[in-house]
Structure 1
Amino acid sequence: MRASLVIVGAGPRGTGVVERIAANAPELYAGPGLDIHLVDPHPPGAGRVWRTAQSPLLWMNSHAEDVTMFTDETVTMAGPVRPGPTLHQWAGVDGRTFTDRRLQGAYLSWVHQEAVAALPPGVRVHHHPQRALRVRGPREGRQQVWLEGRPRPLLADLVILTLGHLDAELDDEQRALASYARDHGLVHIPPEFTADTDLGALAPGEPVVVRGFGLAFIDLMVLLTEGRGGRYDGDTYVPSGREPVLYVGSRRGVPYHSKIGYDFTGERPPLPRFLGPAEVDALLARPGGFDFRRDVWPLVEKELGFAHYHRLFTAHPGRTALDWAEFEKRYAAGDPEQVAALVAEAVPDPADRLDLAVLDRPLTGVRYPSHEEFQQALRTYVERDLVRRHDPAHSPDLAVFLALLSVYGQLVRLGDIGPWWHGFFSYLASGPPGPRLRQLGALSRAGVVRFVGADLAVTAEDGVFRASSPTVPGWSVETRALVEARLPHPTVERARDTLLRELHADGAAATPDGLLAVDPDDGRVLDRAGRPHPRRFALGPHTDGRGAGAFTRPRTGGPAFRQNDATARAVLLFLRTLAERAAA
């Protein structure tokens, strides 16, 4: 009998698993045939997020040269390396280009086709353009995967969930805001994917409160300006007259940092240094577990600081006052107070010192006497960030970026460490293209975007939404529309995906943060007793093994590639054992 594998989710993560199955099958599987069923209502490869049927105004937030779906020798894995082109090599575009998402979707579709073509003879792939509703079946027997509109389930020896980013039911706050909006004839747009949002209810000239200053805001900004016929004349925005006025704020009150606009040259910091496999092993072995802030963050902070100062001392020695060897020795041995004193001694200019607290919350304690003065101040902040992120004289910033990637790859092994780290990583390392922030400045000068400030407070009272911030004491704005510019939080309890909710109801464990708990070694779904399910796997942002993305920069050891390889090998070994038993 032919073996059967069902992969729910045929986007880049599902494609990555197929690629790893193709790479590992010659070594691990020579069974009587295998049917791989891909279940996804969206096109295989691109999936929902990267589908080609979306606005060409929406860009990737990575350079084309920094996007690959192929492994290289920096990936720590048991399977073979199968190199392939980056996005820019495949598309023949400038590597420094921020391509639109439709081109990325075409690249992913090609990668999917190549992965399928590389599968051994006897392995067939079937795409089912439907939603998977639930998975049932005994731990020791075939699984049943029920699809929308299909009277009989798919039978599977194994199931892999690569669901990607998910929609979520509203939490208590969002339900209250939605109810208030209905009762008072207001507009409330909850956290969701901006490319899928109906923005028609946001009227021209209408003030709109936008809560969130990350990448979802950038998409919203683009669709409500250029998407409504506006255009840029150099650094000046020429409105179409159809734009609303966006009053934007967030916890930090500032946009994510611009992508860095230069290449690394010279000696790279030797990473990992203070947070590597040995330190992660020690954290996982703690009898009472670990606390992120107490036990993990000091290691992260020291790792990022090491990368920053290594680059400063090796590439810009004229801005330092000690020999690197002496600095490194004292830095490695020092506690936080000793390190602070060392940095003050060895780095004369405070602008060359790494202060993660100020980076994270630049408006903490900062107050402006008027709303207009804050507008100019934040425009200046964005302009300075753009200059700094495109000037190699500040190359320690790029070293910190590389350290963030290294740290992320290590922290994946710790499971659910809460949402703060992921937000901090995205804020520093996964911000918008520089041109988008230049556009933000132009929109601010044109009055289309207005900055509210940090610790944004939104209230629903007197028939309107009211937004304020301590950044400008005493100032507030009243609007009849509120947009939550952020992605939904992918918890198993609130996921709109019935498959995930039913899996949880059927005994799958969830972390305190609401993520699906999986075995860090191979992605098997864990039950509430901590037992790995022998026939169910899960990879991606809905799990506590979530990484920085399904694709990554070349030569950075992409954690997702490592996870895909481990899962693919576990799947093939399981299927080989089944085949051997059947033949015995």
Structure 2
Amino acid sequence: MSEVQGQAAATMELVIAVVGAGPRGTSFLERLLAHLDHIPDPVPELRIVVLDPAAHGPGRVWDPDQSPLYLMNTPASYPTVAPAGETQQGLAPSEVSQSFAQWRRERSGETGDADYPTRADYGQYLADLHERTMGLLSARDGVTVESRRSQVIGLRQVGGSQHGGDDAVDQRYCLSCDDGTELTADAVVLALGHVPARLSDSAQHLADVAVDLGLHYSPPAIPTDVDVDAIPAGEAVLVRGMGLNFFDLMIQATAGRGGRFRHLPDNPPGRRLEYHPSGEEPHLIAGSRRGAPYRAKTTAAGFVPAGIRLVHFTEQAVEEAERRHDVLDFAAHLWPLIHRDVLRTYYRTLAAVSPELFPARPEVFLDEFDRLLEDPGVGEQVLAVQGQHLLHEHAPDVLWFDIRSLGRPFDDVVFDSADHHRDHMLAYLEDDAASSAAGAASPVKMGIGALHAARMELKALISDGRVSTASQVADIEGWFESLVEGLASGPPLQRIEELAALTRAGVVDFLGPDPVYDVDRESRTFSAESPWVAAEPFRARWLIEAMMPANRVQLSRSPLVAGLLKDGLARAKELVDVSGTARAGKGFDVTETPHRLIDAAGHPLDGVYVLGLQLSSVQWGTAIAAESGGDPRSGARTLADADAAAGSILQTALGR
């Protein structure tokens, strides 16, 4: 008898297939363990099969064997894959519920919760928690677990109702794997994480030409999948993107090749490192639309800096906007509130650290400024003009803080040479390092901190379906996402210090804003130049896309994702823009929590649940880890999703 037939006969056993064993899959297993502690006897018989070709627990991104040079993008105090601290008030803990910081303290006595650990270290945490969870699940009566290092390449329905109904419990799913095996399951949890994606038209053109001309093109990829060792020493390399993947490439191509950073503690921030090349480094020439790298995170304590308080973007204000307007529009109803909190935080910090800038006492200005901010009839542009008038009256040497222009620091600035632009970049890096090092005494970083705090609250509003889809397309995807990512999602300060040192050493150069990447067939090279810099194009035989694969299900090269769409078992979430035109969203169409997959006909698939990145059309910021101690509605939303899926599956089992 085949495995499929054997499983069909075992009608009293509920088979759960967990596709993806990285952080999201591990969270689901931990939540399943927690739920089993609270269900009545007799416990249903469960068979749990976990499938992932990568190491189970860390997955590909958090491989414990990756270079120790790769750092996390959050402090140790932030991430978790299980409820910890105050989160346990909303989500009951399991026997293994432990945050990364708790695990570090228990394992090595490490108490530096504000530092930025290696990604390999976090991967070991994930591996340990996954192993402990699987062990405790397998120790329970009636529960069997199995781990398979294989990739699921297809999923189809077998028997039962095709689209829910009273006989939905009879619906089963057959999963095909790349090793030729099949598995039939009653419930499927899709926790896929990052998957390969098709290239954009422009990127595909560069890739095709690279083949024709014998050039080297590296597409968007997880940093550990980029073959940095293959780049010859001294080779010019064009890099597109100056986000987090860029910093990984930068450090692996320099310190990873024997270069050394000498610490100069007596120097001011931005000049505290000096780079000593090994001679094996390539020459990196980096560019991005904004013309600058992501700004460094502040050294102020806390993921959201301590002391940040939102007084305008509050639940009460949001509810009032909903009462008046029914559906929330980001630009009209939410951004004005967020913007006011950013301004209030900036000027209150400035008044506290530099009261001498306010000759008539800072309290006088702050009182008048608060009254201006509290006037709901003052729009963003009027607010800027009237705010500048107040500054001129009370603090004539203080400039208006324009958070939007901070996201594009070189807008409308023309550079008459590459050297001129490099000098400006160094000044930018040194200024950013100084403001990060100042911590809570930096008005800029505290203003950004308020923006970051608002983002965490906005995530919950979007996930709850309270923000119009047209506004999400036009405003959040259109401009706000890139603004907040570039300002609040940057690397630790260490990386900006390193980049400044590498720039001074001539190892890294920059293209300038809005660079154009092309191919020069005459010289048989890639070329890149910025319209804002009066300089000859940079030419190179190598071009690396320093970014992750596109997180859009319709661009996915995953056989499973592409197959689900092709076979009609899934569809992309439809979003309607401001013109009324329907367009495909980034993620799958799913039901409300627990997020069950919706097929092409609009019917939910009973028993198929989606977690993580492929929820990006109904959630914002799906790549961000769960926050230790966070609210299950916002910072710990990924844990709440996993909890809901586990609870739903067990309720189905109890109903058999």
User: What TM-score does the superposition give when structure 2 sets the normalisation length?
Assistant: 0.80
- What does residue 111 of structure 1 align with? 129
CA deviation profile, 1:514-548 (whole Å, cap 9, x unmatched): 32222343222233455433221112123222535
Which of residues 320, 323, 331 is equivalent to 2:373?
A: 331
Which of residues 15, 18, 32 is equivalent to 1:4?
A: 15
Give, in whole Å, the separation in 2 of the partners of 1:535 and 1:277: 37
Q: In 2, are the aligned partners of 1:29 and 1:573 still within 8 Å (CA)?
A: no
- What does residue 510 of structure 1 align with? 572
Give, in whole Å, the separation in 2 of the partners of 1:232 and 1:491: 39
Give, in whole Å, the separation in 2 of the partners of 1:8 and 1:267: 38
Residues 169-184 of structure 1 mapped to structure 2, 5 A cutoff: 169-184=198-213
Amino acid across the alignment from 2:416: P
Give the secondary-structure state (helix, strand or coil) at the position aligned to 1:386. Answer: helix
Amino acid across the alignment from 1:23: A
Give, in whole Å, the separation in 2 of the partners of 1:101 and 1:45: 13
Which of residues 9, 31, 38 is equivalent to 2:50?
A: 38
Which of residues 27, 45, 57 is equivalent to 1:16?
A: 27
Residues 1:298 and 1:261: Cα distance change in structure 2 (over 3 Å): same
- What does residue 576 of structure 1 align with? 651
Q: What is the CA-CA distance between 1:38 and the residue it aligns to?
A: 1.4
Decide which moves more: 530-539 or 444-453. 530-539
Which of 1 and 2 has greater Rg?
A: 2
Give, in whole Å, the separation in 2 of the partners of 1:576 and 1:2: 14
Residues 1:230 and 1:160: Cα distance change in structure 2 (over 3 Å): same
Residues 538-553 of structure 1 mapped to structure 2, 5 A cutoff: 538-543=610-615, 544=617, 545-549=619-623, 551-553=625-627
Amino acid across the alignment from 1:383: E
Give, in whole Å, the separation in 1 of the partners of 2:317 and 2:47: 40
Residues 1:245 and 1:144: Cα distance change in structure 2 (over 3 Å): same
- What does residue 126 of structure 1 align with? 146
Residues 500-539 of structure 1 mapped to structure 2, 5 A cutoff: 500-505=561-566, 506-511=568-573, 512-528=584-600, 530-539=602-611
Residues 1:551 and 1:114: Cα distance change in structure 2 (over 3 Å): farther
Give, in whole Å, the separation in 1 of the partners of 2:305 and 2:190: 42
Give the secondary-structure state (helix, strand or coil) at the position aligned to 2:364. Answer: coil
CA deviation profile, 1:195-232 (whole Å, cap 9, x unmatched): 11123442221211111111111111112112222222
> 1:378 and 2:425 equivalent?
yes
Decide which moves more: 250-259 or 497-506. 497-506
> 1:84 and 2:131 equivalent?
no
Residues 1:267 and 1:100: Cα distance change in structure 2 (over 3 Å): closer
> 1:166 and 2:166 equivalent?
no
- What does residue 394 of structure 1 align with? 442
Q: In 2, are the aligned partners of 1:207 and 1:480 still within 8 Å (CA)?
A: yes
Amino acid across the alignment from 1:143: Y
> 1:97 and 2:144 equivalent?
no
Give the secondary-structure state (helix, strand or coil) at the position aligned to 1:454. Answer: coil
RMSD: 3.2
Q: In 2, are the aligned partners of 1:42 and 1:48 still within 8 Å (CA)?
A: yes
Give, in whole Å, the separation in 2 of the partners of 1:168 and 1:467: 24
Decide which moves more: 450-459 or 201-210. 201-210
Give, in whole Å, the separation in 2 of the partners of 1:576 and 1:166: 31
Give, in whole Å, the separation in 2 of the partners of 1:147 and 1:413: 38
Q: In 1, are the aligned partners of 2:305 and 2:446 still within 8 Å (CA)?
A: no
Q: In 1, are the aligned partners of 2:308 and 2:345 still within 8 Å (CA)?
A: yes
Give, in whole Å, the separation in 1 of the partners of 2:588 and 2:99: 33
> 1:211 and 2:272 equivalent?
no
- What does residue 156 of structure 2 align with? 136
Q: What is the CA-CA distance between 1:555 and the residue it aligns to?
A: 3.8
Which of residues 243, 247, 256 is equivalent to 2:285?
A: 247
> 1:423 and 2:482 equivalent?
yes
- What does residue 484 of structure 1 align with? 545
User: What TM-score does the superposition give when structure 1 sets the normalisation length?
Assistant: 0.89
CA deviation profile, 1:335-393 (whole Å, cap 9, x unmatched): 22443245332673776754122111101001121111211211111011001011032
Amino acid across the alignment from 1:130: S
Q: In 1, are the aligned partners of 2:83 and 2:639 still within 8 Å (CA)?
A: no
- What does residue 61 of structure 1 align with? 73
Decide which moves more: 103-112 or 293-302. 293-302
Give, in whole Å, the separation in 1 of the partners of 2:257 and 2:563: 41
Amino acid across the alignment from 1:199: V
Q: What is the CA-CA distance between 1:114 and the residue it aligns to?
A: 3.9
Give, in whole Å, the separation in 1 of the partners of 2:460 and 2:323: 12
- What does residue 231 of structure 1 align with? 260
Q: In 1, are the aligned partners of 2:413 and 2:532 still within 8 Å (CA)?
A: yes
Amino acid across the alignment from 2:154: R
Q: What is the CA-CA distance between 1:409 and the residue it aligns to?
A: 4.3
- What does residue 529 of structure 2 align with? 468
> 1:369 and 2:416 equivalent?
yes
Residues 1:56 and 1:364: Cα distance change in structure 2 (over 3 Å): same
Amino acid across the alignment from 2:595: G
Identity of aligned residues (%): 29
Give the secondary-structure state (helix, strand or coil) at the position aligned to 1:38. Answer: strand
Give, in whole Å, the separation in 1 of the partners of 2:630 and 2:454: 8
Give, in whole Å, the separation in 1 of the partners of 2:638 and 2:503: 43
| Runs of at least 5 residues in structure 2 that lack an aligned partner in the other structure | 1-11, 264-272, 464-468, 574-583
Which of residues 300, 306, 313 is equivalent to 1:274?
A: 313
Decide which moves more: 90-99 or 384-393. 90-99
Which of residues 491, 495, 498 is equivalent to 1:436?
A: 495
Give the secondary-structure state (helix, strand or coil) at the position aligned to 1:35. Answer: strand
Amino acid across the alignment from 1:211: R
| Runs of at least 5 residues in structure 1 that lack an aligned partner in the other structure | none
- What does residue 404 of structure 1 align with? 452
Residues 1:323 and 1:21: Cα distance change in structure 2 (over 3 Å): farther
Q: What is the CA-CA distance between 1:454 and the residue it aligns to?
A: 0.7
Q: In 1, are the aligned partners of 2:627 and 2:636 still within 8 Å (CA)?
A: no
Give, in whole Å, the separation in 2 of the partners of 1:123 and 1:182: 52
Q: In 1, are the aligned partners of 2:312 and 2:338 still within 8 Å (CA)?
A: no
Amino acid across the alignment from 1:112: H
- What does residue 148 of structure 1 align with? 178
Give, in whole Å, the separation in 2 of the partners of 1:405 and 1:37: 38
Amino acid across the alignment from 1:414: I
> 1:340 and 2:384 equivalent?
yes
Give, in whole Å, the separation in 2 of the partners of 1:208 and 1:267: 40
Q: What is the CA-CA distance between 1:311 and the residue it aligns to?
A: 5.3
Give, in whole Å, the separation in 2 of the partners of 1:132 and 1:187: 31
Give the secondary-structure state (helix, strand or coil) at the position aligned to 1:65. Answer: coil
- What does residue 47 of structure 1 align with? 59
Q: In 2, are the aligned partners of 1:508 and 1:527 still within 8 Å (CA)?
A: yes
Residues 1:267 and 1:44: Cα distance change in structure 2 (over 3 Å): closer
Amino acid across the alignment from 2:517: V
Give the secondary-structure state (helix, strand or coil) at the position aligned to 1:203. Answer: coil
Give, in whole Å, the separation in 1 of the partners of 2:320 and 2:608: 26
Decide which moves more: 484-493 or 109-118. 109-118
Give the secondary-structure state (helix, strand or coil) at the position aligned to 1:333. Answer: coil
Give, in whole Å, the separation in 2 of the partners of 1:117 and 1:556: 27
Give, in whole Å, the separation in 2 of the partners of 1:252 and 1:182: 29
